Amino acid sequence: MIIGIHHATFISSDLARSRDFYEGLLGLKPNHQRPQMNFEGLWYDVAANQQIHLMLLPNPEADIERPVHGGREHHVALVVEDVKALAAHLLSAGVAFTLSQSGRSALFCRDPDDNALEFIQAKP
């Protein structure tokens, strides 16, 4: 029986650019305790026993045209304390996003490699 998600993995074509996004913009801290793989990458702790793994690899989907709304393709959904504050932060950083089309308090944006991320308001 599934009891949770351990990690979500994304391809990164430029780790420095990805670090600016995941660390500088989203405030995640790298976890340097993870084992080294046979390719470069980064691990970020998101919550207890939940991580995002970035792999420095050529993106086989680099030339694919993505839908504007990230909810229309594969994505990971992350819970945030305040979606409105995140929206203001993304706007000030010039990061495009779309609001959830379901009416939920959620938004979608893309990282520098066009990986779709959903951010959902935490329940009170």
Distances (CA, A) of 13 to 48, 54, 113: 27, 10, 7
Residues recorded for the chain: 124
User: What is the per-residue pLDDT for 94?
Assistant: 97
**Fold topology of 7-59+67-121:** 2,3-Dihydroxybiphenyl 1,2-Dioxygenase; domain 1 (3.10.180)
User: What is the per-residue pLDDT for 48?
Assistant: 84
Q: How far apart are CA 37 and CA 16, in angstroms?
A: 18
User: What is the per-residue pLDDT for 100?
Assistant: 93
pLDDT tens per residue, the chain (124 residues)? 877 889 999 999 999 999 999 999 999 999 988 777 788 999 999 988 899 999 999 888 888 899 888 988 999 999 999 999 999 999 999 999 999 998 899 999 999 999 999 999 998 7
The domain spans of the chain are 7-59+67-121
Best CA proximity match to 66, nearest among 10, 11, 114: 114
